[in-house]
């Protein structure tokens, strides 16, 4: 499990959902010294993220196949469930870590967490309160060792 999170600054971080929240999170992660590949289906959001140093991914599945740790900031529980089932879980690799920074319902997170574990991957539930930057709070649930290892990503936001 540590292999995909060790030396995080040498690994690619994926960000899916580059709206106001996700775009800001991606920008902070880039400015924290990480290589970030991102995707959003809305072209203007993609262009804005690229202007902040985010590498353009071709799709959610492409970002999942490219990055070691994937951060999602999607607009609803339904959106996360759809993307997880269609793009993330089918393309997840062993020891890959997914951080859902949206507000996905607890029953769905638990169900999807099992699906990720069946692929050998890990899902951390990390909803936020406040805007990215000073004052933003992340409430994170998942394996403590993964939270500890992946904490440098969260500390950039």
Q: What is the mean pLDDT of residues 135-149?
A: 79
Q: Which helix (H) or strand (E) holds 31?
A: helix 20-31
Model confidence at 139: pLDDT above 60: yes
Buried-exposed string 106-120: b where 16+ CB fall within 10 A, e elsewhere: eebbeebbebbeeee
CA 145, CA 153: separation in Å to the nearest integer?
A: 14
Residues whose CB is less than 8 angstroms from the CB of residue 40 and which lie 6 or more positions away in sequence, other chains included: 16, 17, 18, 19, 22, 23, 46, 49
- For position 10, what pLDDT does the model report? 60
Model confidence at 1: pLDDT above 80: no
Q: How confident is the model at residue 53 (pLDDT cuts 50, 70, 90)?
A: very high
Average pLDDT, the chain: 89
DSSP code for 141: B
Q: Specify whether the CB–CB gap between 99 and 71 falls below 8 A.
A: yes
Q: What are the residues facing 70 on neighbouring strands?
A: 14, 98
Nearest 10 degrees: CA dihedral of 58, 18, 2, 86? -60
CA 148, CA 125: separation in Å to the nearest integer?
A: 14
- For position 131, what pLDDT does the model report? 75
Cβ burial of 41 (10 Å; 0-12, 13-18, 19+) is exposed
């Amino acid at each position: 499990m540590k292999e995909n999170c060790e030396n995080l600054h040498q690994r690619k971080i994926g960000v899916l959902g580059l709206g106001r929240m996700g775009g800001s999170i991606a920008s902070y992660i880039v400015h924290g010294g990480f290589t970030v590949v991102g995707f959003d289906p809305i072209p203007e959001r993609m262009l804005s993220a690229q202007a902040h140093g985010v590498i353009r991914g071709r799709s959610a599945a492409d970002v999942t196949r490219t990055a070691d740790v994937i951060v999602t900031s999607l607009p609803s529980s339904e959106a996360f469930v759809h993307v997880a089932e269609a793009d993330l879980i089918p393309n997840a690799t062993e020891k890959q870590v997914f951080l859902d920074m949206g507000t996905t319902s607890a029953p769905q997170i638990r169900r999807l967490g099992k699906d990720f574990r069946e692929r050998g991957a890990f899902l951390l539930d990390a909803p936020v309160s406040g805007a990215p930057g000073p004052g933003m709070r992340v409430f994170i649930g998942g394996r403590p060792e993964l939270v500890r290892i992946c904490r440098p990503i969260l500390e950039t936001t």
